[in-house]
Amino acid sequence: MDELIYKGSLNSLSFGNVSYNLLREMYKSEIRVFIFPMGEKVDLEAFDSIDKDFQSWIQSMINERFNSISKDIPTLSQWHISGSESRISSHQTLFTFHELDQPTEVEKSIVRLQDNCIFSSDYSKNVFKNSGCDNVSCVNIGFDEDFLDLNLKNDNEPIHFGIMGKFEKRKNTGQIIHQWIKKFGNNYDYQLTCCIDNPFFSNEQMNGIKHQILGGQKFGNVNFLPRLKTNSEVNHFLNSIDIDLSGLSGAEGWNLPAFNATALGKWSVVMDHTSHKDWANSKNCILIQPTQTAEAYDEVFFKKGSTFNQGSINLISDDVMSEAFDKSIKKARKINESGLLLKDKFTYKKTLKNILDIIKK
């Protein structure tokens, strides 16, 4: 494919990271891309190891996006279903993430508006296919080549657990941290580092959430990091931990922190559901079965009765979570050889090729 219109966000959030990696593969493939950034502005601060020529190419493709544009050039939009009802050219493929199990009528209508709608997980594809959408497919995302093994050895230090991802009910953040504290709080053989600041909450709101999680107590082996500004900082965080707990989230469109940690050879405790099924298995993670489901609604990101994001998330009991922590400790100092294989199995080169193959059809 020689030309492509691309709509997507460029920022430090997960959508922005996927856009960045897709565009990098387009740049390598010498595709002429008309870039239409979603959101208020382009923010490349997180990508601190960006190649300067690639950075100049992005800016050039944005500045020149209206030059020689044509309605016949296919569009790839990487965005939420909400907000994807409009298009620039006659042919549009939507690449999107979805977490829940009950597509709404509005979501299905917008999906059907697309020439193709590609989901990041087989689970989400089937949720919409089984509800009557016949233009859906699945393409998995890849491992970001900027994430590297830093060879940080901490054999003589406490076993280091980590949880990353913005605080949400959907992600079971509160339960995970609370249960860890109940089991390991002030036991200095173990350490927990939490990177859970949600950019959609104020500092006051986040401080209140942390205070509530801790029950107003202080634990010397529990640390809270501010939101990490660069991917190099994220890479260092993932390299510093032994065990990732981000995979205990209740519903995901992929789960970049857990996936990246696993691909770097760490052990992640992962609930076996939604997008996790595309990359997590009993060989490359501590795989845990959900014990029940619950409504996803938090009246912030998921509002009951809304025309978007309706359905359930997955939960596990405190006892099962505690058992999972015990299982992970036994693997904490061992390199996850099966996890390392994810780097080659899932690449953005494959992601882009699979997307373009669908567009060409």
Give the DSSP letter string of 264-303: TT-EEEEESSTTHHHH--TTTSEEE---EEEE---SSSS-
Q: Are residues 116 and 207 in the same domain?
A: no
In a domain, 98, yes or no: yes
Q: Are residues 215 and 325 in the same domain?
A: yes
Position 40 scores a pLDDT of 65
Read off the amino acid at residue 210.
Answer: K
Whole-angstrom distance, CA of residue 210 vs CA of residue 222? 11
- The answer on pLDDT for 357 being more than 80 is yes
In a domain, 265, yes or no: yes
- The answer on pLDDT for 145 being more than 70 is yes
Please tell me the total count of domains within the chain: 2
Range of the structural domain that residue 117 is part of: 3-142+347-360
In a domain, 229, yes or no: yes
Q: Are residues 81 and 201 in the same domain?
A: no
Other CB atoms within 10 A of residue 202 CB: 10
In a domain, 293, yes or no: yes
Is residue 161 within 8 Å of 193, Cβ to Cβ?
yes
- The answer on pLDDT for 152 being more than 90 is no
Q: Are residues 88 and 230 in the same domain?
A: no
In a domain, 149, yes or no: no
Please tell me the pTM assigned to this model.
0.96
Q: Are residues 351 and 331 in the same domain?
A: no
Other CB atoms within 10 A of residue 293 CB: 15
In a domain, 58, yes or no: yes
Which residue matches tokens 């009528």? 105
In a domain, 65, yes or no: yes
CATH number, position 289: 3.40.50.2000
Summarize pLDDT for 183-222 with one digit per residue, the tens: 999 999 999 999 999 999 999 999 999 999 999 899 999 9
Q: Are residues 72 and 202 in the same domain?
A: no
Going from the C-alpha of 281 to that of each of 63, 82, 143, 260, 268, the distances in angstroms are 44, 31, 17, 15, 11
Confidence bin at 339 (pLDDT 50/70/90): very high
Q: Are residues 185 and 310 in the same domain?
A: yes
Summarize pLDDT for 273-283 with one digit per residue, the tens: 999 999 999 99
Q: Are residues 168 and 266 in the same domain?
A: yes
Q: Are residues 205 and 301 in the same domain?
A: yes
In a domain, 150, yes or no: no
